[in-house]
Amino acid sequence: MYLFLPVINKGIVYLTKYELRLVVMTTLFIFIFWRFNKNPDNDVFQMHNGFSMIWFLTLYLTGAYIGKYRVDYCGIKKYLYCFICLFTYF
């Protein structure tokens, strides 16, 4: 997988914000929503509970989007964002 990261990084650089958001949302929808809601008993994508190359690529693209288009939260938005993150993790 590490051999392909330079190619993936070049692709991420040339994508617009809308295109990268579309790629991230599509992969997350396919690998999370469809797997857990449509077919919860089978591992259709061979994800092995998150220990696969395709899941690493999904997380890498999500992290690249967050890193490239970081939003600085200030004031009440910062506390609301922290509350949402804590609510999500606990």
Phi, psi of 12 (to 5 degrees): -65, -40
pLDDT tops 80 at residue 82? yes
Asked if the model's pLDDT at residue 73 lies above 70, the reply is yes
Q: Where are the domains of the chain?
A: 6-89
The pLDDT assigned to 18 comes to 94
Q: 14 pLDDT exceeds 90?
A: yes
pLDDT of residue 55: 79
User: For residues 49 and 72, what is the distance between their CA atoms, to the nearest angstrom?
Assistant: 32
Calpha distance 57→72 (Å, rounded): 25
The pLDDT value given to residue 11: 92
pLDDT digits (tens, 9 = 90+) for 24-69: 999 888 877 766 666 666 655 566 566 677 778 888 998 899 889 8
Helix (H, G, I), strand (E, B) or coil at 70: coil
